[in-house]
Amino acid sequence: MKLWQKGAAAHEKVDAFTVGKDREYDLVLAQYDCEASIAHASMLGKVGLISLTEAEQLCAVLSTLKKDAEAGDFSIEDEFEDMHSKIEHVLTQELGDLGKKIHTARSRNDQVLVAMHLYLKQALKEIKIDVLALFDLLLQLAEKHQKHLLPGYTHLQVAMPSSVGMWLSAYAESLIDDLYFWEAAYKMADQNPLGSAAGYGSSFPIDRMLTTELLQFDQPKINAVAAQMSRGKLEKSTAMALSSIGSSLAKLSMDICLYMGQDFDFISFPADLTTGSSIMPHKKNPDLFELVRGKCNGLQALPNQLALLTTNLPSGYHRELQLAKGPIIEAVQELKACLEILLFSLPKLEVTKNITDQKKYDHLFSVDSLNAEVLAGKPFRDAYRELGEAIETGNYRPNRTVKHTHLGSIGQLGLEEIRAKMERLR
């Protein structure tokens, strides 16, 4: 069954190519299509395009379908092109000709648009919950380990003292920047495109403000053409948010993989969070974090993929916009899985004590030694030259007592200030 079919069916090759994996992705979106259809049917009844009784009958069947979709009991058989055709088929089966009235004053274009808006609104809410949980966890761990020194690096060379607390709270604060991108994506999603039909509105006297209220959108996407042009842009803005969060998770995971290595040995995890080798019995591999790194690096390609897909398309609907659906749904699922596994594993982080006491980290304290000379009155350039000579000749003796006092340093991490920044985004 195809909603657009007027006579002869398309060739089976054309059918297979144009439908692609839409049925699979539509199983994710079906509950939101039902939700939007309930609002649409209610609006049709309120404006008199169908009777209030008919609206109630449509909403009753749609509510059952929505529950089935939420429970994973909704299916789209091969004879149906997509969720829209399956839902309308069930309505017609249950209600006869009344079921055919559901498509009054709308198009599949605004149907899929509103379903995607509703889905991404919910997905972004769920992702934010996990990001906030990760933020809280990172700050808890930072507070617990703030006294444990850690080598800081530039150019992968030993540079200056850091701490486990400084390292972890840096990623917590980075998540705040990621949520700035999230806010932009959420504002894009929180607009109602329903009623734009195929992109040019409708001659039916519909009430778009009513469906906006019923679907709990902040505001409608007012211009019908602008609503259609948001397809692709909605996915791109969401992809930017997912990419930004993914960037933080990938970098954190890379650090973890590095710091777990025997040459560093800064941190470790219990054996049940690592994997082994088929021939090397000593191995405890950080596969979990490598996969988070790889998956999140893949997410960072998504904005460019969607930008290329939609580049130079004129206004109006084009079929390749369908190709934006799958990547964004898969990206949401991947990021949620990565957040969940980090929330599961990071509480089990184990920190090696007294890391910086090793001789190979002597030079880590050279900048503090230099600064002490300057504070005692020696010109900076003279102190720098003399300390450099001492290091070159092997006469440098580090003072491992560190005293950093400014905000954001290892002596004053500013954890409460970081928490306060995030509070404005909760």
pLDDT tens per residue across span 332-364: 999 999 999 999 999 999 999 999 999 999 999
Q: Is residue 224 part of a domain?
A: yes
Structure pTM? Answer: 0.93
Token duo for residue 371? 């600064």
Q: How far apart are CA 91 and CA 63, in angstroms?
A: 11
Average pLDDT over residues 384-393: 95
- Same domain, yes or no: 198 and 345: yes
Q: How far apart are CA 78 and CA 90, in angstroms?
A: 15
Residue 100: is its pLDDT beyond 90?
yes
List, for residues 2-27, the tens digit of each pLDDT value: 554 545 555 667 666 766 688 899 99
Backbone angles phi, psi at 275, to 5 degrees: -125, 170
Given 52, 72, 104, the domain boundary residue is 104
Burial call 24-48: b when 16+ CB within 10 Å, e when fewer: ebbbbbbbbbbbbbbbbbbbbbbee
Predicted local confidence at residue 318, as pLDDT? 87
**Of 39, 84, 60, which Cα lies nearest the Cα of 216?**
39
Predicted local confidence at residue 294, as pLDDT? 97
Token duo for residue 239? 């992809």
Q: Is residue 83 part of a domain?
A: yes
List, for residues 49-92, the tens digit of each pLDDT value: 999 999 999 999 999 999 999 999 999 998 898 999 999 999 99
What's the alpha-carbon Rg for the chain, to the nearest Å?
Answer: 28
Given 104, 133, 149, the domain boundary residue is 104
- Same domain, yes or no: 121 and 72: no
Say which CATH number the domain at 236 has.
1.20.200.10
Token duo for residue 284? 């405890």
Q: Is residue 390 part of a domain?
A: no
- Same domain, yes or no: 287 and 170: yes
Predicted local confidence at residue 126, as pLDDT? 98
Say which CATH number the domain at 37 has.
1.10.275.10
List, for residues 118-133, the tens digit of each pLDDT value: 999 999 999 999 999 9
Residue 1: is its pLDDT beyond 60?
no
Predicted local confidence at residue 138, as pLDDT? 98
User: Mapping DSSP to helix (H, G, I), strand (E, B) and coil, where does residue 222 land?
Assistant: coil
Average pLDDT over residues 390-401: 94
- Same domain, yes or no: 246 and 335: yes
Predicted local confidence at residue 4, as pLDDT? 42
CA-to-CA dists, residue 78 to 9, 24, 33, 61, 320, angstroms: 14, 11, 19, 22, 21
Q: Is residue 307 part of a domain?
A: yes
CA-to-CA dists, residue 34 to 64, 91, 99, 252, angstroms: 9, 11, 13, 39
Residue 284: is its pLDDT beyond 90?
no
- Would strands 267-268 and 157-163 be described as parallel, antiparallel, or unpaired? unpaired
- Same domain, yes or no: 41 and 142: no
- Same domain, yes or no: 91 and 65: yes
Do residues 410 and 166 make contact, with C-beta atoms less than 8 angstroms apart? yes
Token duo for residue 160? 């200056």
Q: How many domains does the chain have?
A: 2
Average pLDDT over residues 147-162: 96
Q: Is residue 388 part of a domain?
A: no
Predicted local confidence at residue 15, as pLDDT? 63
- Same domain, yes or no: 62 and 152: no
- Same domain, yes or no: 140 and 264: yes
List, for residues 214-227, the tens digit of each pLDDT value: 999 999 999 999 99
Average pLDDT over residues 280-290: 89
- Same domain, yes or no: 41 and 163: no
Q: Is residue 251 part of a domain?
A: yes
Average pLDDT over residues 130-149: 97
For every residue of 121-187, DSSP letters joined together read HHHHHHHHHHHHHHHHHHHHHHHHTTTSEEEEEETTEEEEEEEHHHHHHHHHHHHHHHHHHHHHHHH
Task: Please give the residue range of the domain that contains residue 82.
Answer: 12-104
200 versus 17: the higher-pLDDT residue is 200
List, for residues 26-43, the tens digit of each pLDDT value: 999 999 999 999 999 999
Given 302, 336, 356, the domain boundary residue is 356
List, for residues 231-266, the tens digit of each pLDDT value: 899 999 999 999 999 999 999 999 999 999 999 999
Which amino acid does the sequence have at 268? S
Token duo for residue 416? 């409460």
CA-to-CA dists, residue 398 to 166, 240, 361, 394, 401, angstroms: 22, 45, 9, 11, 9
Token duo for residue 5? 């079919």
Tell me the angle at which helices 108-144 and 325-345 cross, rounded to the nearest 10 degrees: 20
Report which DSSP code applies to 376. Answer: T
User: Mapping DSSP to helix (H, G, I), strand (E, B) and coil, where does residue 220 land?
Assistant: strand
Residue 379: is its pLDDT beyond 90?
yes
- Same domain, yes or no: 51 and 170: no
- Would strands 149-154 and 191-192 be described as parallel, antiparallel, or unpaired? unpaired
Predicted local confidence at residue 178, as pLDDT? 98
Do residues 220 and 192 make contact, with C-beta atoms less than 8 angstroms apart? yes
User: Mapping DSSP to helix (H, G, I), strand (E, B) and coil, where does residue 363 land?
Assistant: helix
- Same domain, yes or no: 272 and 206: yes
Q: Is residue 361 part of a domain?
A: no
Q: Is residue 73 part of a domain?
A: yes
Predicted local confidence at residue 219, as pLDDT? 97
Three-state helix/strand/coil letters over 35-84: HHHHHHHHHHHHHCCCCHHHHHHHHHHHHHHHHHHHHCCCCCCCCCCCHH
Distance, C-alpha 188 to centroid of its chain: 15
Do residues 49 and 60 make contact, with C-beta atoms less than 8 angstroms apart? no
Backbone angles phi, psi at 76, to 5 degrees: -125, 100
- Same domain, yes or no: 48 and 187: no
Predicted local confidence at residue 407, as pLDDT? 96
